[in-house]
Chain A
Amino acid sequence: MTVTKSTVLAAGLAAALLGTGPAAAQQEPGLTPTSIKIGMFAPLSGANMAYGFDVANAAKMYYDKINKEGGIHGRKIEVVLEDDRCNANDLVAAVKKLVEQDQVFILNGGSCSAAVVAAKEYVVRNKVPLVMLNASGDGALYPPTDYIFGAFSISQYAVGGAMIDFAAKTLGAKKIAYVNHDDAYGAWNLEGAKADAEASKVDLAVESVNPTINDVTAPFLKLRAANPDALLIVTYARPAALMIKKAAEMGFNKPIILSVTGTANLSQLMQNVGGPDALKNFYFQDVLADLPGGPKIKWVYDMYKQSYPDLAAKPDHPQAYMPYGIPSAMSIVKALQAAGPNPTREKVLDAMKTLNFDSGVMAGPVVFGPSERAANKATIFIKFDGTNQTLQPGVYSSRWKFKG
């Protein structure tokens, strides 16, 4: 059959008619009388899978539990999950697919801060609610928008500030060595740290290293030369272990505090640093309500084992950040419930802005407000000597304030 001009025109017309069909919905997308579609995205593959794979699983299992209990106002939650590969381009593609192709009602995703910030403009322009998973995502939370909520793990500004707070108040440090990364994360937590350092009248010596660093001799030597009262490590797990090792090798005996960004797997940490000798004066920061595996949050791990028996049997599962998915999912469920039997995106967003509850999982409550979009700003500290974990009294936060 020859492709004539008229055939193409006819095909085009037919296609145009098809295209302008029910997609232009007057009602809320992703909502039917019996279901709510939630679009989830997280790094499910690649180098940064550990930051989001099990976090998404935790959120999903919570939604399953809600469904088993009857759903929300008679609607069951339906999840569509996309892999964002922890980079900006793929995350934006995943978001666009979920919003335009799958027509979800609300977005629940983002474990990687730098990547999730890339979706900010699109989400705001298309008026889609975005509730992050465990990303700090500060770049998308300050200045606040009407649509984006996050930092269920912790705001990075809070991480830096809380570390200084603890070192200054509890350990009495006046000169603090601070090592972070040269990425967006690092910039945010350093800013928070500087705010607290100023308020506490503490001096900072800062070294910023690349996450791929192999030899930490140079940054460590420089920090030691500043004669600090404490060494604060605000890096990811591997560089953190390298620093702790190097400190032990060089006979450094001042307190070492590791931020929540580097804590992942504690028993592995001890092996990695060469044994308990390196941890004689060692503290780590946490954002969970209890020691990892402690009684207060055992229910989360039990739920995981029940929902994913095959995964739980594999080594390294559940991954360290798994519990962070719970407060995120809880927030969405609470907001959906508060929005009533005829929810709209606007109603859900209004409900989100008033949330203030204790998830039972994190050290502090989930608190949003008229201009507050970062959920958690509270941390706890634990002394760890290789075998015993001793909870330090107090909940530490940051004095950093957003200057709009």
Chain B
Amino acid sequence: MRFLAIAVAAAVLIALPLVTTGYVVYLANLLLTFTVLCLGMHIVIGETGQFSLAHAAFYGIGIYAAGIAGTTFGTPFPVSILIGGLAASAIGFVIGMVALRMRDIYLALATFAFGEAMQWVFLNWNAVTGGPNGLRIAPARLFGLELVTDKDAYPFVVATAIAMLVLTVIVARARLGRSFRAVRESEIAAQAMGVPVRRTKVVAFGISAFFAGIAGGMFTLFSTYIHPDSLGFQTTILVLTMVVVGGLGSIGGAVGGAIAFGLISELLRQAPSFQEIAYGAILIVFMMYAPKGLFAFLADRFRGARHA
């Protein structure tokens, strides 16, 4: 069953740029970027249970770092993307260490405040980020190859997304993943079992920020401009809802949520006057009737139908 799903996904991914316009490929690029963001959030909230609301800040750090590296210093884009990921994860590690003592709601609020403060920095540090004028991002370059259109960037965006997905699965199956989940269930029990709780939490933050930074790097592959308005709490909430709607705690849920919500978002753009109400209503209805996420909900239905 899973094999078929992967085959279908592969077919769609390969066929997409051949049968559709650059606009659809742009949407796909955006969706893949958000998928990586969701995977990052899955690691810190879904696996480790740490309620971090600073995701958009790390995404922004990744975009600016990768963008500046490529535009001002002319680094080839695999290096730029990596710089984005590392810059974000460095800050992520620091935040993780500072946040060690905090729990649940306090952690959520502190990371929320950090995210907003970071957006203010993006908006006011004119020398580096261009401030309210935004930052121009030059087309990504790899030796001779230049990525100018969405279709040019697409294969590399897909490759990066797949790499991050593989990384997520590796981490989940490794001992680190088990440590994450142990900390989520019960810190005291985990400690008793010999899990280095403090270090695990810091690592979770760092890795999650790395993912967000890589997503930022992906963004620079197909975008020419970034403005701090897109890097605030709204974006973090968007990613959070994708993960929750898809299903917290499962990799498939994170990926599925990104796709489902990305499509819903684009559809809602066609109904401007009801957008906000529809968005809010979707959140409420999901929380009321499909709390484990869309895919768990559907899976339950199918399982029920088959057994009936």
Contacts and interface: CB of A to CB of B under 8 A. Distances in A.
Interface stretch (A68-76, A82-90, A170-178, A263-271): A82-90
Interface stretch (A92-100, A273-281, A327-335, A339-347): A92-100
Interface stretch (B13-21, B179-187, B297-305): B13-21
A294 interface: no
A182 interface: yes
Contacts of A101: 21, 23-24
B134 A184 contact: yes
B125 to A, nearest CB: 12
Interface in A1-54: 3, 8, 11-12, 15-16, 18-19, 23, 44-46, 49
A26 to B, nearest CB: 17
Contact of A184 (B8, B14, B15, B132): B132
A94 B19 CA distance: 20
A156 to B, nearest CB: 12
Contact of A46 (B131, B150, B270, B275): B275
B225 A120 contact: yes
Nearest to A14: B19
A8 B15 CA distance: 9
Interface in B19-33: 19-24, 26-27, 30
Interface of A is mostly: helix
Contacts of B148: 125
A89 B230 contact: yes
B272 interface: yes
A375 interface: no
Contacts of B8: 3
Contact of B230 (A3, A88, A183): A88
A174 B303 CA distance: 79
B273 A139 contact: no
A114 B229 contact: yes
B124 interface: yes
B19 A19 contact: yes
A136 B59 CA distance: 29
A16 B225 contact: no
Given A12-B15, A46-B275, A46-B276, A93 B26 contact: yes
A241 to B, nearest CB: 23
Contacts of B22: 96, 100
B136 A121 contact: yes
A325 interface: no
A139 B136 CA distance: 11
A3 B7 contact: yes
B18 A45 contact: no
Interface string A85-129: 101111011101101110000000000001101101110010000
Nearest to B26: A96
Contacts of B19: 15-16, 18-19
A66 interface: no
A187 interface: yes
A294 to B, nearest CB: 31
Nearest to A96: B23
A186 interface: yes
Given A44-B273, A45-B273, A118-B224, 18 more contacts: A3-B4, A15-B18, A46-B272, A83-B269, A83-B272, A87-B227, A88-B134, A88-B229, A89-B30, A92-B223, A96-B22, A96-B23, A101-B24, A114-B229, A117-B134, A120-B224, A121-B136, A122-B224
14 contacts: A3-B11, A19-B18, A83-B270, A93-B30, A93-B266, A93-B269, A94-B269, A101-B21, A101-B24, A114-B227, A115-B227, A184-B132, A186-B132, A187-B132
6 closest A-B pairs by CB: A45-B272, A121-B224, A100-B21, A44-B272, A184-B132, A100-B23
Interface of A: 3, 8, 11-12, 15-16, 18-19, 23, 44-46, 49, 82-83, 85, 87-90, 92-94, 96-97, 99-101, 114-115, 117-118, 120-122, 125, 139, 182-187
